[in-house]
Structure 1
Amino acid sequence: MTNHNSSISDVLIIGGGAAGLSAAQMLGRSRRSVLVLDSGEPRNAPAQGVHGFLSRDGFSPAELLATARAEAREYGVRTIHGEAVAAAGSVAEGFAVTAADGRVLRARRLLITTGLVDELPGIPGLRERWGRDVLHCPFCHGWEVRDQAIGVLGNGPWSVHQALLFRQWSANITLFLNELVLPSAEELEQLAARGIKVVAGMVESLRVEQDRLRGVALAGGPEVAVDAVVVGAQVRARLDAFAGLGLKPEPHPMGIGNFLPTDADGATDVAGVWAAGNVTDVRAQVLASAAAGAWAAVAINNHLMAEEMAADLSAYRQSLMLNGAGIRAGVSQ
């Protein structure tokens, strides 16, 4: 059991989303002192509901996080609002994270669950509808737009795949090439076979009326009526604050942005620092992020336990030597 009154926490978690709060709860239940630094900017904030999360389907993101924070508090977890701007330290000396307001938070181990930022094309109307009727993941939101007219905005090599994938949820799919996508002959055949319309030309804007998406306007061309738009955003891991630790994002092999690589337990290349959630797994939905946070928490607890065991064992052996004890360790006479 650790001292929860210490100014140095066992674990500092940067990011209070599903991954961070899941880890916080697990570590709190392990009787660790845990501090969560949360900027209050979850990636899924614009979404009306969380889906694919067993027993929590349809919960608003805010409701889910409020429930998670309350649960974590029951185990002594403290959450403070703020943004990390710098980090330094090591396992030997401990870690220090500086918040934007100047506070310095100290801990024996760090867990980064800062998530990522979706970088959308600069098409008028797109950002404002993000998470509502401008979507990216069929498994997150496909059910909500089933059987509707869905436009897939060409934004890179994965746009054809998105169009083919969303065809499972609706027979009315239009792929806008947007002068950024050039399907191969094989892909054009696949699109035709699935009844997906292909529209050339540059997308100029989205038309919205009475707070509802109505259509996609092409530059110098017609407007195509749609109820929802799908776009594959580039993603950027939120890691600027951790450059001082030597942590840098790497290009994602899928060509969709960058991420922070870790091992299977969430450990980064920097000893004593773990990561979980979208910052390291861009495909993870909320449930998967929560699971990754819990598993990283187990790994962190075990790492701390090994350090504590080594320290106690060293002190125990030293006491035996000082006392001249000759009995076998742990055996009463």
Structure 2
Amino acid sequence: MVTVTLRNDYDVVVAGGGAAGLNGALLLARSRRSVLVIDAGEPRNAPAGGVHGLLAREGMPPAELVERGRAEVRGYGGEVVRGEVASVTGAAGDFTVTLADGSAVRARRLLVATGLADELPGLPGLAEGWGRNVLHCPYCHGWEVRDQAIGVLASGPMSVHQALMFRQLSDDVTYFTHDRPLPAEDAEQLAARGIAVVEGEVAAWEETGVRLRDGSLVARQALAVATRMVVRAGFLKELGLLPVEHPAGVGEHIPADPAGRTSVPGVWVAGNATDLMAFVGGAAAAGAMAGAQINGDLVAEEAGRAVEARRAS
């Protein structure tokens, strides 16, 4: 990360330096806004071998994609620093953004793009295999495990849907009910698609398959799990902007309108912090939209002030 001497104030501070934050910063920097990106360096997709579903960047390592984005933002005068936002106070036009190291900057507007953290079920082996043979998204990882023996752990309200999605990629899919009852309607869907169902509590994920509590092992090459997705945005609490439970019951998010505007004036959000299901491409697009909206908001404010000054003179 390039060493940067922070200014006292910026037009926009972007919290989060992933696809959403960097693309928002790129639009703002190209509009000649002073913009600072504060990146904690803990991307959600760090364990993945490559980014998938992103046109012209298919399979690119996540770290390379981010480094290219940083360079593009800097190329237009934007600043990108490693750090963690600890708190935000103030109001639109005069936010104070304080970092964990105690330094602080002022910002007229704030773009939150800190993403989320995936909370795995508390079973041995899942964390060790995460991003390799323990998966969650058929679009992000499905092609890589096509035609393999895939297990799906009942671990969330979308688990049956997840099993049906992975069935598109393999004829050998097994659903593990674990500690969740399987409704008759869901059981019928799984049976109709040829998805085997194994009842009984799961004890662990091992390299060769799923170990049940009774000691038996069901051979599998990959396991799909549904994580609970939790927004990284505790620093917004002093603004009164708190994450809420997502309607799908899969975690929490920060509500926003389609352009990323939150309920707090001057604060926008983009990417997984608001849209839990967004892929890298969708997060980047949302960041660009939010960046453009922020710039437009600043333009309107500046035009209003110019009119007032003209009338006064």
Which bin holds the TM-score, normalised by the shorter protein? over 0.9
TM score, norm. by length of structure 2: 0.96
Cα RMSD of the aligned pairs, angstroms, is 1.1
CA distance in 2, matches of 1:253, 1:108: 31
Counterpart AA for 2:173: I
* Contact kept in structure 1, 2:157 and 2:250, CA below 8 Å: no
Matched residue SS, 1:278: helix
Alpha-carbon offset, residue 234 of structure 1: 0.6
TM score, norm. by length of structure 1: 0.91
Matched residue SS, 2:118: strand
**Hey, what does 1:329 align to over in structure 2?**
none
**Hey, what does 1:179 align to over in structure 2?**
179
State which drifts further: 23-32 or 215-224: 215-224
Matched residue SS, 2:309: helix
Question: Which of structure 1's runs of 4+ aligned residues deviate more than 3 A?
Answer: none
**Hey, what does 2:132 align to over in structure 1?**
132
State which drifts further: 16-25 or 193-202: 193-202
Matched residue SS, 2:107: strand
Are residue 291 (structure 1) and residue 285 (structure 2) matched? yes
CA distance in 2, matches of 1:59, 1:292: 20
Are residue 219 (structure 1) and residue 220 (structure 2) matched? no
CA distance in 1, matches of 2:295, 2:249: 34
**Hey, what does 2:47 align to over in structure 1?**
46
Alpha-carbon offset, residue 133 of structure 1: 1.1
The superposition leaves residues 126-145 of structure 1 with CA deviations (integer Å, 9 ceiling, x where unpaired) of 01111111111101111110
Counterpart AA for 1:189: E
Structure 2, unaligned stretches of length 5 or more?
1-5
Structure 2 CA distance for partners of 1:56 and 1:115, relative to 1, 3 Å: same
Counterpart AA for 1:130: W
Matched ranges for 1:16-27 at <5 A: 16-27=17-28
The superposition leaves residues 24-80 of structure 1 with CA deviations (integer Å, 9 ceiling, x where unpaired) of 111000000000000000111000000000000000110000011011110001011
User: Which of 283, 296, 301 is matched with 1:302 structurally?
Assistant: 296
Counterpart AA for 1:246: G
Matched residue SS, 1:312: helix
Alpha-carbon offset, residue 189 of structure 1: 1.7
Matched residue SS, 1:40: coil
CA distance in 2, matches of 1:91, 1:255: 32
Counterpart AA for 1:66: E
**Hey, what does 1:190 align to over in structure 2?**
189
Alpha-carbon offset, residue 195 of structure 1: 1.1
CA distance in 2, matches of 1:156, 1:313: 54
**Hey, what does 2:200 align to over in structure 1?**
201
CA distance in 2, matches of 1:40, 1:186: 43
Matched residue SS, 2:122: coil
Are residue 158 (structure 1) and residue 152 (structure 2) matched? no
Structure 1, unaligned stretches of length 5 or more?
209-213, 320-333
**Hey, what does 1:74 align to over in structure 2?**
75
* Contact kept in structure 1, 2:86 and 2:235, CA below 8 Å: yes
* Contact kept in structure 1, 2:25 and 2:73, CA below 8 Å: yes
CA distance in 2, matches of 1:168, 1:30: 44
Matched ranges for 1:248-259 at <5 A: 248-259=242-253
The superposition leaves residues 108-141 of structure 1 with CA deviations (integer Å, 9 ceiling, x where unpaired) of 1000001011111111110111111111110111
Are residue 55 (structure 1) and residue 56 (structure 2) matched? yes
**Hey, what does 2:3 align to over in structure 1?**
none
CA distance in 2, matches of 1:111, 1:232: 28
CA distance in 1, matches of 2:91, 2:156: 40
CA distance in 2, matches of 1:270, 1:105: 19
Counterpart AA for 1:203: V
User: Which of 249, 271, 287 is matched with 1:277 structurally?
Assistant: 271
Alpha-carbon offset, residue 6 of structure 1: 5.7
Counterpart AA for 1:67: R
CA distance in 1, matches of 2:27, 2:283: 14
CA distance in 1, matches of 2:203, 2:115: 30
CA distance in 1, matches of 2:183, 2:133: 29
**Hey, what does 2:95 align to over in structure 1?**
95
Counterpart AA for 1:72: V
CA distance in 2, matches of 1:188, 1:207: 26
